[in-house]
Amino acid sequence: MARRSKPRGTSRRRRTGMTAQSGSIVVINMIPKALSGEAEQDSEPSLAVDPADPRRIVATAFTPDPMGTGFAPIFVSSDGGMTWAVRSTVPSANVTGDISMWFGGGGRLYGGILKVPGRLLLNVLRTTDAFATTPMSVVVNRSQVDQPFVRAQTIGTRDRVYVGSNDFGSAGGRTATLDISLNGAGTNPEFKKVRIERRGTGSAGQDGPQIRPAVHPGGTVYAAFYGWRSFSATDKVTTDVVVVRDDQGGNGPQAFSALVDPSDNLPGRLVARGVAFVWGRLLGNQRTGGDIAIAVDPRNSRTVYLAWAGLDGADYTLNLRMSTDGGATWSANNLRTKKRATNPALAVNARGTVCFLYQQVTGNGANERWVTTIERSSDNGVTWQSNVLATVPVAVPTPQFQPYIGDYAGLVSAGNTFCGIFSANNSPDATRFPSGVTYQRNHDFQTRRLFDVNGTTQVSVSIDPFFFKVTD
């Protein structure tokens, strides 16, 4: 049996769900002990926390079904993320093309996937018991759709479900789309498509793949997306960063028209114009092609934070701004600017603290590292507390595919707690996890090696999903 030791400088963490000590950070390698032999590239993670019981958490990544039984797996935790199990309940052949999940009420879990096999085949999924082993049900099935991204909110007794996607079936190249159900828990939930791009997309002929909804508990819904305006012969994208809002949750004939840009009086506030990046250019060994994250303050639906990526000079750079008037106006300057960074994720907790997660390439040449960081501010972005969660070599392991660490990471608030997920090199080296780390899979921190379930066979370093939790 492999020796299992604790990282140096890390005190024993309490295993009591959301009751982690205030300010303490918990980082967990999510690969369970029974999968200690796993060496897949578990990139592009997402996270969902059950609002009715925040100890119940579901996560996803590009982890293939360990058994190859024909269903794709999810990670589940019933103790607030301290321990995880993998079970394959997603109706897609061992893996998905994209996957994200979110909880509604009563423990219902909604998912959006690109199904395999299929050509950009969107399936919106649902289950009444995320922890069961029965496959999730398909409630929407449509092709020519990219990057489904799910959010849900229970209003009264009904689940409102919002699936952002880039729908190539949309006419006129205005592809940014929300699939909306105002009663997702119904027997045969009706989803309507709302096209949220109101402008032309020029030579691009489409919008960017990132269409990100954010839902306030009171029913206000925002969505942020890249309104592409051109796509050059050298794959350079020129784009606007657009935010739309609907105060009735999309329940009306002029859905998502609440925000109008003063420049053209069209719905959709242009938060940034003329943003550029190169489609598919590598940052470290991760492809880039735009990043967007948006979060709304649960205490005040008019306070909203937005992060997006674009070139600053030659550097792919994250920009973070906020609005306190429902997206009508935005901070003139960035609250945070992170060069050579990707995978922004945002959440605001019950105290109004905003948390900003990102993954940044630091150093040069052989010293390049992926550094995963959270920054928190409880004074509207004036001051920030920064914590590094992981700092790992960029070049190890060798990529199996793209995305290397994912086209997105995940962050969720639950009460005063932030729960998040990112993917990174899984070498059990405590010095690479400055906020501490706990492994479930067999490992040895002294020799920095991973072992199979037999405790003796060494396992190669790979990309694993890491859960983290911090209570404000």
β-pairing verdict for 25-29 and 438-439: parallel
Residue 230 in the binding site for other proteins (CB under 8 A) = yes
Cis peptide before 403 (omega within 30 of 0): yes
- Min CB(62)–other proteins separation in Å: 5
Among 155, 183, 272, 279, binds other proteins (CB under 8 A): 279
- Min CB(395)–other proteins separation in Å: 17
Q: In the window 340-379, what residues touch other proteins (CB under 8 A)? A: none
Contact 289, 308 (CB under 8 A): no
| Residue 107 or 173 having the CB closest to other proteins | 173
Among 27, 28, 35, 49, binds other proteins (CB under 8 A): 35
Query: Binding-site residue total for other proteins (CB under 8 A)?
Result: 74
Contact 126, 184 (CB under 8 A): yes
Rg, C-alpha atoms of the chain: 21
Q: In the window 394-423, what residues touch other proteins (CB under 8 A)? A: 399-403, 407
| Residue 153 or 166 having the CB closest to other proteins | 166
The DSSP code sequence of 272-338 is: EEEEEEETT-EETTEE-S--EEEEEETTEEEEEEEEEEEEETTEEEEEEEEESSTTSS--SS-SEEE
Among 18, 93, 266, 395, binds other proteins (CB under 8 A): 93
- Min CB(314)–other proteins separation in Å: 22
Contact 38, 397 (CB under 8 A): no
Q: In the window 36-65, what residues touch other proteins (CB under 8 A)? A: 36-38, 43-44, 62
- Min CB(338)–other proteins separation in Å: 22
Among 19, 21, 52, 70, binds other proteins (CB under 8 A): 70
Q: In the window 307-346, what residues touch other proteins (CB under 8 A)? A: none
The residue whose two tokens read 């958490």 is 57
Angstrom distance (rounded) from CA 64 to CA 72: 6
| Residue 227 or 381 having the CB closest to other proteins | 227
Q: In the window 169-228, what residues touch other proteins (CB under 8 A)? A: 172-173, 175, 200, 202-206, 209
| Residue 32 or 352 having the CB closest to other proteins | 32
Which range of residues in 19-27, 165-173, 263-271, 301-309 is near other proteins by CB under 8 A? 165-173
Among 4, 5, 116, 247, binds other proteins (CB under 8 A): 116
Among 349, 353, 440, 462, binds other proteins (CB under 8 A): 440
* Nearest C-alpha neighbor of 193 from the set 235, 236, 250: 250
Residue 280 in the binding site for other proteins (CB under 8 A) = yes
- Min CB(382)–other proteins separation in Å: 36
Residue 282 in the binding site for other proteins (CB under 8 A) = no
- Min CB(393)–other proteins separation in Å: 20
**How far, rounded to the nearest angstrom, does the alpha carbon of residue 361 sit from its chain's CA centroid?**
19
Which range of residues in 84-92, 264-272, 353-361, 371-379 is near other proteins by CB under 8 A? 84-92
| Residue 315 or 452 having the CB closest to other proteins | 452
Contact map string, positions 119 to 138, toward other proteins, x by CB under 8 A? xx----------xxxxx---
* Nearest C-alpha neighbor of 304 from the set 328, 280, 285, 284: 328
Angstrom distance (rounded) from CA 409 to CA 344: 7
Beta-ladder partners of 459: 450
Residue 300 in the binding site for other proteins (CB under 8 A) = no
Q: Which of 255-262's residues contact partners 24+ apart within 8 Å by CB, and which partners? A: 255/180, 255/194, 256/178, 256/194, 256/196, 256/221, 256/223, 258/326, 259/326, 259/327, 259/328
| Residue 94 or 359 having the CB closest to other proteins | 94
Residue 429 class from Cβ within 10 Å (0-12 exposed, 13-18 middle, 19+ buried)?
middle
Among 11, 12, 117, 156, binds other proteins (CB under 8 A): 117
Q: How far are the Cα atoms of 154, 312, 402 from residue 73, in angstroms, in the given order? A: 26, 38, 19
Given CA atoms 189, 190, 193, 194 in this order, what sign does their dihedral have?
negative
